[in-house]
Amino acid sequence: MVRKTKEEAQATRNQLLDAAARLFCEQGVASSSLHEIAEAAGLTRGAIYWHFENKGDLLTALWERVALPMQQAFDEVAQQQAMDPLARIQRKACWVAECIETNEPVRMLMTILMLRCEFTQELESTRGHFLRVREDCLTQMAEEVRLAMQAGQLDPAQDNEKIAVGLFGLVDGLCFHWLIAPGRFQIASVTRLSVSAYLAGFKP
* 3 state DSSP class of 3: coil
* Rg of the Cα atoms in the chain: 20
If the CB atoms of residues 20 and 174 are measured against DNA, the closer one turns out to be 20
Piece of 35-43, 51-59, 84-92, 117-125 that binds a copy of itself (CB under 8 A): 117-125
- Of 127, 133, 147, 188, the one binding a copy of itself (CB under 8 A) is 127
- Exactly one of 20, 21, 28, 35 binds DNA (CB under 7 A); which one? 35
Q: Please give the torsion angle defined by the CA atoms of residues 62, 67, 73 and 78, in that order, rounded to the nearest 10 degrees.
A: 180
Select 41 or 117, whichever has its Cβ closest to a copy of itself: 117
Give whichever of 57 and 130 is closer to a copy of itself, judged by the CB atom: 130
* Residue 87 binding a copy of itself, by CB under 8 A: no
CB 134 within 8 A of CB 168: yes
Footprint of a copy of itself on residues 144-203 (CB under 8 A)?
A: 158-159, 161-163, 165-166, 168-177, 180-181, 184-185, 189-190, 193-194, 196-202
- Residues within window 11-30 making contact with DNA, judged by CB under 7 A: 12-13
| Residue 118 binds a copy of itself, judged by CB under 8 A | yes
The DSSP letter of residue 156 is T
Cα-Cα-Cα-Cα torsion 99, 114, 66, 88, nearest 10 degrees, comes to 40
Query: Is the distance from CB of 25 to CB of 110 less than 8 angstroms?
Result: no
Residue 115 is inside which H or E element, if any? Answer: helix 104-115
d(CA 41, CA 106): 20
Question: Which of the residues 49 through 68 are near DNA (CB under 7 A)?
Answer: 49-51, 54-55
The single residue among 45, 65, 127, 177 that binds DNA, judged by CB under 7 A, is 45
d(CA 45, CA 56): 15
Q: What does the angle CA 71 – CA 73 – CA 75 come to, to the nearest 5 degrees? A: 70
Binding site for a copy of itself (CB under 8 A): 27-31, 115-122, 127, 130-131, 134, 158-159, 161-163, 165-166, 168-177, 180-181, 184-185, 189-190, 193-194, 196-202
